[in-house]
Amino acid sequence: MEVLSRPAEEFGNDETLEHLWAAKAIEYSDIHFNVLCSVDMRWLQLTPHDDLIYTTFRQDFPDLNVSNVKEHEIKSNVNKVKWRMFCEKFKNIVEDYSFGTLLRVDCKGDYSERNTMLVPRVQFYAIEIARNRENLNNEVKRLFKCSSKNNTQSQEQVQIAV
């Protein structure tokens, strides 16, 4: 996996590298979903920079409905430019800020082919931090039986650790 930190120019369109990126994105989404199922969202901090990411996100995108993100709100030509400018603000702040990350389109759904899109990591953080702070991710624990051994015990341990 160390190869993923090397400059992209070295690889061109290497299929093996694409598979590594996909595997890493899937692994990250599995971890994130298990955390959503086992932690009280009020206590969840995704990065040391959550406050800055959230404030900047809501300044730049005050009306974006993060509950159910529409693809055109992310990937239209006009919005791509706005998102690129947002992401670049975190280039030297958030580690792997541009790393491809799977985002759940509907916050009440799981990671499935129909409910995901690929976005830069800091864009994922912005939307998921907003979902947490705006109490939109709370339904996940109720709607899904996640692979956590004991959700209550895990939640208590995380709250104590925070």
Tokens of residue 139, six digits: 């339904």
Would you place residue 12 in the very low, low, confident or very high pLDDT band (cuts 50, 70, 90)? low
- The predicted model gives 57-75 an average pLDDT of 94
- Average pLDDT of the residues in 143-155: 49
Work out how many domains the chain is built from and give that number: 1
Is the pLDDT higher at 11 or at 31? 31
Mean pLDDT of 10-32: 68
- Dist CA 50 CA 108 (whole Å): 21
Give the CATH number of the domain where residue 128 resides: 1.10.3560.10
Rounded average pLDDT over 104-117: 91
Spatial CA neighbour of 141 closest among 133, 152, 130, 157: 152
- Amino acid letter, residue 81: V
- The answer to whether residue 31 scores a pLDDT higher than 90 is no
Q: Is the pLDDT of residue 47 over 90?
A: yes
pTM above 0.85, yes or no: no
Structural domain boundaries, residue 11: 2-161
